Amino acid sequence: MSAKKIDRLVKMVNQISLNMRSNGEEDFVAVQVSEHLEKFWSPPMKNLISEQIDKEDLGLTSISYSAVKKLAAIQKMK
């Protein structure tokens, strides 16, 4: 796994979170971000970020971190 690849995904999630941040409370926004990722990202992208989230500090914002945790849970259930 290249560092660049995960960095790209982190940048994308953070950008989505930033643009959605005013939609409501943090938990609510995290769910929306997670749903967005689930709806629009391909499985390799979802899997990679879900696998990496707890291995290192990826630089995710607080909303992004919560969103990816939720995404990881969904991925696990698949």
Partner 1 sequence: MLEFYEPQADFGTPEIESETMVTLSIDGADVTVPEGTSVMRAAAEKGIKIPRLCATDSLKSFGSCRVCLVEIEGRRGFPASCTTNVEEGMQVVTQSSEIGKLRRNVMELYISDHPLDCLTCPTNGDCQLQDTAGEVGLRSVRYGFEGDNHLVAEKDESNPYFTFDPSKCIVCSRCVRACEETQGTFALTIDGRGFESKVSAGQSEDFMDSDCVSCGACVAACPTATLTEKSIIEAGKPEHSVITTCAYCGVGCSFKAEMKGNDVVRMTPYKDGKANEGHACVKGRFAFGYATHKDRITQPMIRESIHDPWQEVSWETAVNHTAKRFKEIQSKYGRTSIGAISSSRCTNEEVYLVQKMVRMGFGNNNIDTCARVCHSPTGFGLKTTLGESAGTQTFASVAKADVIIVMGANPTEAHPVFGSRLKRRLREGAKLIVIDPREIELVNSPHISADFHLPVRPGTNVTVLNALAHVIVKEGLQASTYIEDRCEMDEFEKWSAFISDDRHSPENTEQFSGVPARDLRAAARLYAEGGNGAIFYGLGVTEHSQGSTAVMAIANLAMLTGNVGREGVGVNPLRGQNNVQGSCDMGSFPHELPGYRHISSKVTRNLFEGEWGVTLDPEPGLRIPNMFDAAIDGEFKGLYCQGEDIAQSDPNTQHVETALSSMECLVVQDIFLNETAKFAHVFLPGASFLEKDGTFTNAERRISRVRKTMPPLSGKADWEGTMALANALGCKFQYDHPSEIMDEIARLTPTFNGVSYAKLDKLGSIQWPCNDHTPAGTPVMHVDEFVRGKGFFAITEYVPTEERANRKFPLLLTTGRILSQYNVGAQTRRTKNSEWHEEDTLEIHPHDAEERGIKHGDWVGIKSRVGNTVLHADVTSRVKPGVVYTTFHHPVSGANVITTDNSDWATNCPEFKVTAVQISKVTAPSRWQERQKMFNTQQQHLLAKARH
Identify which of residues 20 and 69 has a Cβ nearer to partner 1 in the complex.
Answer: 20
- Rounded to a whole number of angstroms, the minimum distance from the CB of residue 57 to partner 1 is 21
Identify which of residues 3 and 57 has a Cβ nearer to partner 1 in the complex.
Answer: 3
The footprint of partner 1 on residues 17-76 (CB under 8 A) is: 18-24, 36, 39-45
Q: Angle of helix 62-77 relative to helix 43-52, nearest 10 degrees?
A: 110
Tokens of 51: 């696998």
For residues 65 and 52, give the distance between their C-alpha atoms in angstroms, rounded to a whole number: 11
**Residues within the interface to partner 1 (CB under 8 A):** 2, 5, 8, 12, 15-16, 18-24, 36, 39-45
